[in-house]
Amino acid sequence: MMDLLFFPWQLFVIFVGLTAVIAFIALNGLLLVYLDRKVGGFIQRRVGPYEVGPHGILQPVADGLKLLGKQIFTPKGADPVLYWLAPMISITPAIVVFIAIPFGPNLQVINTNVGLILILAFTGINVLALCLGGWASQNKYALLGAARDIAQSVAYEIPLLLSVLPIIFMTGTFNLFDITSGQGAWPWQWYILYQPVAFLIFFVCILAETNRSPFDLPEGESELTAGFHTDYSGMAFALFFLAEYAYMVIGSCLIATIFLGGFQGPIVSGAWWFLAKVYILLLIMIWIRWTFPRLRFDQLLNVCWKWMIPIAVLNLLVTLAVISL
């Protein structure tokens, strides 16, 4: 009995939770790679991956195995420490961030009252990782990609935060579980109806923050070979890749939690509603990727500084006025 009392339950929960989160990220990565390629194929009226497994369902596994088997190689002139640190810095915050997300009524690793801040702060570290990766690989394309990524991420962080603020003022909390509970089960009780403008701005900013098309300038294939990860191969590249998809999932989780009622849904609330919402959002992201061409860099920053930020500020002011009335 004494042993059980002194057993570090909190640590145990975090440990199990982190393991589950890593498994979740890896599975999501596999599924999203497949979905991305398959949907892209269908939109372009091809069949997409088809050879490995029935309807190519094992293609991401085969790709992963190939990346695992590749030689670990440091390019000539690359910084030996920073070069290998960058992919690790990229993936670690992605894993940490998931512990604060409420997947279901009883499915959250840590219910902390700074959940939203934790997520937004940790996802910001990814910029550092891409910057280090681009800098350390001693490659002009990588450096250009990193420079673009910094300009883009710094710019889009502002409207991202500005569009979350109205929700925080409405609910008075940073706790993601409380934000979810504040919304009802039915769609007309979700915050997307109270804050449609904030939702749109947030969605676009998430696209830009995760370097998804049409904002994929840091890795623009046509002009920068592969952008910041030009020199990376094997598992280092796989980590960057996994992190990118993990951040997509995090973005969708945030949108689902803040604007779409989280795990609450009609009839029976639970993790399935959360996952359904997240996957619908991810599919929309994939759909957008295969529809729009990449923006030019000045257009990208113009959209942010001339439209997103003023509209977000206006939205915030209007919300504050309404709340204070």
CB 227 within 8 A of CB 219: yes
CB 107 within 8 A of CB 262: no
Name the minimum Å distance from CB 46 to another protein: 5
Q: Does 53 bind another protein (CB under 8 A)?
A: no
Q: Does 305 bind another protein (CB under 8 A)?
A: no
Piece of 46-54, 57-65, 76-84, 155-163 that binds another protein (CB under 8 A): 46-54
- Of residues 13, 16, 23, 47, which one binds another protein by CB under 8 A? 47
Q: Does 73 bind another protein (CB under 8 A)?
A: no
DSSP 12-50: HHHHHHHHHHHHHHHHHHHHHHHHHHHHHHHHTTS--S-
Q: Does 44 bind another protein (CB under 8 A)?
A: yes
DSSP-assigned beta bridge partners for residue 104: 107
Name the minimum Å distance from CB 48 to another protein: 9
Q: Does 279 bind another protein (CB under 8 A)?
A: no
Q: Which two tokens stand for residue 51?
A: 């050879």
254-271 CB burial, b ≥16 within 10 A, e <16:
bbbbbbbbbbbbeeebbe
Our CB check for another protein shows the closer of 258 and 286 to be: 286
| Residue 306: DSSP 8-state | I
What is d(CA 314, CA 317) in angstroms, rounded to the nearest whole number? 5
Piece of 58-66, 136-144, 217-225, 286-294 that binds another protein (CB under 8 A): 286-294
- Of residues 7, 9, 73, 287, which one binds another protein by CB under 8 A? 287
Q: Does 290 bind another protein (CB under 8 A)?
A: yes
DSSP-assigned beta bridge partners for residue 107: 104
Our CB check for another protein shows the closer of 45 and 76 to be: 45
Name the minimum Å distance from CB 241 to another protein: 24
Name the minimum Å distance from CB 44 to another protein: 7
Name the minimum Å distance from CB 214 to another protein: 10
Q: Which two tokens stand for residue 215?
A: 């904002």
Q: Does 302 bind another protein (CB under 8 A)?
A: no
- Of residues 7, 42, 73, 305, which one binds another protein by CB under 8 A? 42
DSSP 152-169: HHHHHHHHHHHHHHHHHH
Q: Does 52 bind another protein (CB under 8 A)?
A: no
Helix 82-97 to helix 234-259 angle, to the nearest 10 degrees?
Answer: 30
# residues near another protein by CB under 8 A: 15
With vertex at residue 17, the alpha carbon angle to CA 12 and CA 20, rounded to the nearest 5 degrees, is 130
- Of residues 24, 50, 169, 279, which one binds another protein by CB under 8 A? 50
Q: Which two tokens stand for residue 208?
A: 């830009």
What is d(CA 279, CA 311) in angstroms, rounded to the nearest whole number? 28
Name the minimum Å distance from CB 100 to another protein: 32
Our CB check for another protein shows the closer of 15 and 292 to be: 292
- Of residues 12, 16, 307, 317, which one binds another protein by CB under 8 A? 307
- Of residues 18, 35, 41, 181, which one binds another protein by CB under 8 A? 41
Q: Does 46 bind another protein (CB under 8 A)?
A: yes
Tell which residue, 212, 304, 206, has the closest CA to residue 260. Answer: 206
Write the CB contacts of 53 (distance below 8 Å, at least 6 apart in sequence): 59, 61
Our CB check for another protein shows the closer of 102 and 214 to be: 214
Q: Which residues bind another protein (CB under 8 A)?
A: 39, 41-47, 50, 287-288, 290-292, 307
